[in-house]
Amino acid sequence: MDFKRLANLLYPDVEHDIEYYEKVFPPRTLAEGAIVSRFAPSPTGNAHMGNIYSAFIDYVFARQTSGILVLRIEDTDQQRQIENGIEGIIADLRNVAIVFDEDPLNGGDYGPYIQTQRQAIYDTFAKHLVSIGLAYPCFCTPEDLKKVKEEQEKNKMRVGYYGIHARCSTLSYEVVDDNIAKGIPWTLRLRSRGDFNHKTILKDLVKGRIEFPENDLDYVLIKSDKIPLYHYAHVIDDHLMRITHVIRDESWLSSYPVHAELFRAFEFNFPHFAHISPLNVKDGESIRKISKRKDPEAAIKFYHQKGIPYDVIKLYLATITNSNFEEWYNQNPQSTISDFQFTFAKTSKSGALFDLEKLYSISRIYFSRMKAEELYEKTKDYLAIYDPEFHAVFTKDPKYSISILNIERNIPKPRKDIISYSDIKAEVEYMYDELFDENYRETVVKDFYTIDLLADYIDNIYDPADDNDTWFEKVKQLCVVYGFSPNTKDYKEHPENYKGSVAGVCELIRVAVTGRAISPDIYEILKILGSERIRTRITMFADVLK
């Protein structure tokens, strides 16, 4: 057959040849080792934790090599698209500080970045494949294909459109011409040169060396509506956008043989491949991919509403991207993600199990390292949206609120009781008179006389000028006067000799002024509350005891 004649018949309106696009999209001029990666979602919904994880991996490898990060929208499935899907994806990723160098909204030199806008390119390369005899039109109907499959199954043959079963691969030019003249729909199929008994090798950056049988199936490359399938489109896009590293879900591994065949058919240089295991969740006794429909924690808005910083999400993703990141992060409290060197070798081959409790643990560390002033500003912003009433209380005296947030913060082992901005009210509300709980719901009152001790404490003992050691020494002296052990060890050895220990007295003071049995350092709390507020609260507590 005259394949060039066939190509002109199928694609009469194609204006350019493939050399034209090679010149339009030349190799990038980047430093040696620079990675050009792409995140290529479908605009079928907002980004969720699973594809944010994938985008994060693309992002860190591009950034640490001074490379390029491309957002390409694969929108060939028109029926599943949502309104503003592209804008939503970009916004969600921008929230976690994943910013693209080239994308549909901001453009770039290697666009368009939306597949449905690249039809002329796909047609040009399709015409080229036909002209060299590596693609052909197929007029088989679904019923025809069903019959082929049934015949193969009946004869216990491998199922697929290949070899002698690829009925349209041997059609003459005249038959093709006649069918097209009659308006019979056709798809474009690859004319495979593969041998199923031979092997094709993938040296995957994550999975290692993998052998596959060569592809020998005549895959559909372009559907009858002229929309290309992923197998075909992404090979052309990755080549023309000069992608150096194809980082994608491991679900595409089984498709590698046909992708490899297409790269060879076009005589493209192969990019590096890194197939990432998906982000999974435990569902009862089974494990499945995380789902935005089934798992609330998969949605970015879940974290925004709860008040977990987006930086925490990135830290968590870094932890599951490379197994050595967490140890490094704990040992380098002043460093950021950009200071860490990610490697494909440390990326899990089997996949990560999404662990919300682990993310919360990372969030505790993150909050513990934040300066009180920064924490105040960010908490203020969160409360303005989600808790206006507390926002009014919290912002009335910024200096006072910052001093509260600073309790047990600038010490070798800072407190780690905050997971999110939404936690802060519950942790500090007793410090504000407007929110102080007069009912002392967590009060623990022992069977000993306490009113005089507390009155003596505020009238004669407490001095806001005392440092921590002096304050505690005075509390111990108060213990002796009222029959408590100033030493916890002595009390444990001879409890019958005392009403309680110094720990019990400190707990009593804590309950009296905070209404809680557990709180951060009571010395710091007393210093911030001040003498008058302490006196008022002790008086209120004495009334409760009476």
Tens of pLDDT along the chain (546 residues) come to 899 999 999 999 999 999 999 999 999 999 999 999 999 998 766 778 988 999 999 999 999 999 999 999 988 766 665 666 788 888 888 888 899 999 998 999 999 999 999 999 999 999 999 999 999 999 999 999 999 999 999 999 999 999 999 999 999 999 999 999 999 999 999 999 999 999 999 999 999 999 999 999 999 999 999 999 999 999 999 999 999 999 999 999 999 999 999 999 999 999 999 999 988 888 888 888 888 788 889 888 899 999 999 999 999 999 999 999 999 999 998 899 999 999 999 998 887 889 999 999 999 999 999 999 999 999 999 999 999 999 999 999 999 999 999 999 999 999 999 999 999 999 999 999 999 876 554 455 554 457 788 889 999 999 999 999 999 999 999 999 999 999 999 999 999 999 899 998 998 899 889 988 889 999 999 999 999 999 999 888 887 776
The CA distances from residue 69 to 39, 179, 240, in Å, are 8, 44, 14
DSSP single-letter state for residue 523: H
Q: How far apart are CA 514 and CA 230, in angstroms?
A: 62
The CA distances from residue 154 to 9, 150, 161, 345, 524, in Å, are 37, 6, 15, 46, 82
Biggest CA–CA distance in the chain, Å, is 113
Q: Is the dihedral of CA 359, 335, 309, 106 positive or negative?
A: negative
The DSSP annotation for 184-199 comes to ---EEEE-----TTSE
Q: Would you call 51 helix, strand, or coil by DSSP?
A: helix
Cβ contact 45:292 at 8 Å = yes
Contacts of 418 (CB under 8 A, 6+ apart): 363, 364, 367, 368, 424, 427
Q: How far apart are CA 73 and CA 104, in angstroms?
A: 8
Domain ranges of the chain: 1-278, 308-368, 371-431, 451-545
Tell me if the domain spanning 1-278 has CATH number 3.40.50.620: yes
Q: How far apart are CA 174 and CA 187, in angstroms?
A: 17
Q: Helix and strand tally (H, E) in the chain?
A: 23, 14
pTM of the model: 0.87
The DSSP annotation for 429-447 comes to GGGSTTT--TT-TT----S
Reported as a single tens digit per residue, the pLDDT across 365-405 is 999 999 999 999 999 999 999 999 999 999 999 999 999 99
Reported as a single tens digit per residue, the pLDDT across 467-500 is 999 999 999 999 999 999 999 999 999 999 998 9
Closest CA to 262 of 91, 134, 132: 134
Q: How far apart are CA 524 and CA 303, in angstroms?
A: 31
Fill in the amino acid letter for 519: S
Tokens of 196: 């199923």
Q: Is the dihedral of CA 482, 483, 487, 489 positive or negative?
A: negative
Q: For the domain covering 451-545, report its CATH number.
A: 1.10.10.350
Which secondary structure element, helix H or strand E, spans residue 110, and what is its range?
none
The DSSP annotation for 310-348 comes to HHHHHHHHHHHHSTTHHHHHHH-TT--GGGS---GGGS-
Cβ contact 337:315 at 8 Å = yes
